[in-house]
Copies of this chain bind each other. A is one copy, B any other.
Amino acid sequence: MATPAVVLLSGGLDSTTAAAIAIAEGFEPRALTVRYGQVHEVELEAAKAVVAALGIREHKILDVDLAGFGGSSLTGHGEIPKDRPLDTIGAPGDVPSTYVPARNTVLCALALSYCEAIGARDIFIGVNVLDATGYPDCRPEFIGAFERLARLATRTRDIRMHAPLIALTKAQIIRRGLELGVSYAITHSCYDPTDGAACGRCDPCLLRKKGFAEAGVPDPTRYA
């Protein structure tokens, strides 16, 4: 029997690749998707499509109203930034308005609860620090600190955090996913979609386009 693992799955390019890597590494993933009030709630439909495509057997979709706390354009408080120069995205000190306060801490905490409840020890998260926005909770130091916390916080002392994309560029992530048979057409990255079509101008759209270009493969994203 394969070893169970919890995979945080937004339905985006990164988390989908992380899920495919978990499977390739011999884990049997259980997906956790959180509806936290993100304005691009359409990503939840992508998450469901990914779960079906990867043959994941269990998918929990959890509601947690972080939008009620405010503090982020990604939860409806302000405009989503557009057309930012690529060299400023993720630059040192760049924390854009789309940063949701402590979001990845909340997501990892929920994954930890799920993980321990089902007797698993492994958690996958698709954060990456290169070709990414400058969110503080996407850095290796964050993942390391969360793993240390997790081992103190639970009955299960040997929780392992897996962030297999952490040091990859977007192009490398895409190439790895394609090797594993990922269909990126069903994934969703855009923060400001219209009828499911990507805007092509927000940070994740810009990074995604750049990734496909650098990987030298066609971008299957439907842009508005």
Chain A interface, number of residues (Cβ within 8 angstroms): 44
The interface residues of chain B lying within 8 Å CB-to-CB of A99 are 155
User: How many Å from the CB of A74 to the closest CB on chain B?
Assistant: 12
Number of copies of this kind of chain in the complex: 2
Binds B, one of A102-110, A170-178, A214-222: A102-110
The answer to whether A117 and B63 touch (CB under 8 A), given A137-B154, A149-B105, A152-B141, is no
Query: Is B148's CB under 8 angstroms from A145's CB?
Result: yes
Query: Is A113's CB under 8 angstroms from B102's CB?
Result: yes
- Whether A95 is near chain B, meaning CB under 8 Å from some CB there, is yes
Interface centre among A70, A117, A145 (most CB of B within 10 A): A117
Residues of A within 8 A of B (CB): 60, 62-66, 68-72, 95, 99-106, 108-110, 112-118, 136-137, 139, 141-142, 145-146, 148-150, 152-155
